[in-house]
Structure 1
Amino acid sequence: MSTETRATTVNRGEILKRFIVTLVCLIFFEVLTLILEVATLFQYGYLLAAKKRSEPLRRACNALSLYGYRIMRYATLNDNRRPFPFAEFPGDEDCEPPAKQVQFR
């Protein structure tokens, strides 16, 4: 594994702009985390009460998880695509499909 550090050719103004966008995205990430925590608790409550999962909530959480992943890749300088609200929100076609059957072992 290479631990080489590369110098950048962009100016400090561009770095500062990306830093500000990253800060905004990290605020969205914190809100997203809270939403996913509440949705998870609701999904388990629904599962306990109805003995089935909420498919619409499961699909929404799948998209939100991908959105969180994209935010973290952008914030950690591993991706250049700006996440929502600076680009389009990930759709169902962007997400990995959820497991057909969830197992409890």
Structure 2
Amino acid sequence: MASETRATTSDRMAILKRFVVTLVCMIFFEVTGLIIQLSVLFQFGYLFVTKKRSEPLRIFCNNLSQYGYRIMRYSTLNINKRPFPFAEFPEDDECDEPVKQVQFR
């Protein structure tokens, strides 16, 4: 695989602006990770007690994981569309469909 480095046509001010936006996004990413971790603990506790999953929490976490994915893609210079709070939060139709049945093996 060939490694390629490309020069940018942007000025340094535009690069600095994107860097600042990336720093803000990385703060949101850390908060997102914490919310996902707490949601996982709650979901497993709920599943253990009731033997069924919380569907609203599952959908919320699916959207939240898509949001974290977008932040990482933006931060690593793989996409140009800014993530939330600079753009819309991912909707259900933009996320991968969750599996119908969760398996425990």
Task: Tell me which residue corresponds to 2:79.
Answer: 79
* SS in structure 1 of the partner of residue 30 of structure 2: helix
Task: Tell me which residue corresponds to 2:56.
Answer: 56
Output the CA distance in 2 between the equivalents of 1:100 and 1:43. 16
Q: What per-residue deviation string (whole Å, max 9, x for no partner) do you get for residues 40-98 of structure 1?
A: 00000000000000000000000000000000000000010100000010000101110
What TM-score do the two structures reach when normalised by structure 2? 0.99
Task: Give the C-alpha shift of residue 21 in structure 1.
Answer: 0.2
Tell me how many residue pairs correspond in the alignment: 105
4+ aligned runs moved over 6 Å, structure 1? none
Task: Show structure 2 runs of 5+ residues with no match.
Answer: none
* Aligned CA-pair RMSD: 0.4
What TM-score do the two structures reach when normalised by structure 1? 0.99
Q: What per-residue deviation string (whole Å, max 9, x for no partner) do you get for residues 11-44 of structure 1?
A: 0000000000000000000000000000000000
Code of the aligned partner of 2:53: R
